[in-house]
Structure 1
Amino acid sequence: MSDAVGVVLVSHSAAVASSVAELARGLAGGAEVPVAAAGGLPDGSLGTSAELIVEAARSVDRGAGVAVLVDLGSAVLTVKALLAEGDELPAGTRLVDAPFVEGAVAAVVTAAAGSDLRAVAAAAGEAYAYRKV
């Protein structure tokens, strides 16, 4: 999809980010949604890397916006700092307030349907209401 909303999944763990990306892609039925994992630090250790987040966001940017979902506190702070700087992330990049796994699936499935960034972010955020009991 050349004009699809891109999705970036930021976790403190490369394995977690990659696994959630794989899960979301699989549940989207194999649709060609640009999804990138930005997990851990460049050396493979646990943490959050601004460099990896920027690289991931640029890799999924197709001009329709980029939804960024994060796992924990410092990931939120890192993305907020990048957004405040204003020049490293692609235009139209948005931090989405959503649960990491359920929100990622909702975001990717909604992007696969051709929805805009607003709808992708809304679908991801609505995942907070998913009941398990």
Structure 2
Amino acid sequence: MKYVSLVLISHSEEIVNGLKKLLNQVQPDVSIAVAGGNDGEIGTNTFRIKEAIESVYSEKGVVILFDLGSALMNAELAIEMLEKTDRIAIADAPLVEGAYIAAVEAGLGKSLDEVVRACEQAKQMVKVER
């Protein structure tokens, strides 16, 4: 893989599938895997997250973005189950805005650290001036 890859985790399968569809239109060359829901229900699944990471892992790295707290816990557990973990980063960023920025930056050929830094800046975005 030529670019940093993304893994999107949500308690909702529909949310991550829709977000992946959007990001593929913006940056079709970036590999994106999703892990959403838990057997048709709301939730996250450690094994599904592990499989998603493995499906897009490369030496360029993988950025993981997630929606809610327990998704973070399951992502951390999934990473512990992997053999290669040095090129995996969990971003502290809002899922939608962070993933959008991450996809753009990855598609520009930025490094793993640069992609993480850029998408984490989404926390500071002001969407409406008051």
Using structure 1 for the length normalisation, give the TM-score: 0.89
- CA deviations 1:72-100 (Å, max 9, x no partner) are 010011112333x2x42643111110001
Aligned pair partner of 2:68 in 72, 85, 90: 72
Give the corresponding residue for 1:37: 34
The percentage of aligned residue pairs carrying the same residue is 37
The Cα RMSD (Å) is 1.4
Unaligned runs of 5+ in 2: none
Give the corresponding residue for 1:20: 19
SS of equivalent residue, structure 2 residue 3: coil
The answer to whether 1:51 aligns with 2:40 is: no
SS of equivalent residue, structure 1 residue 36: strand
Unaligned runs of 5+ in 1: none
Tell whether the 8 Å contact from 2:47 to 2:78 is kept in structure 1 after alignment: no
SS of equivalent residue, structure 1 residue 54: helix
Structure 1 runs of 4+ with >6 Å offset: none
Matched to 1:127, the amino acid is A
SS of equivalent residue, structure 2 residue 55: helix
Matched to 1:79, the amino acid is A
1:1-133 matches, within 5 Å, as 2-28=1-27, 30=28, 32-41=29-38, 43-83=39-79, 85=80, 87-88=81-82, 90-91=84-85, 92-133=87-128
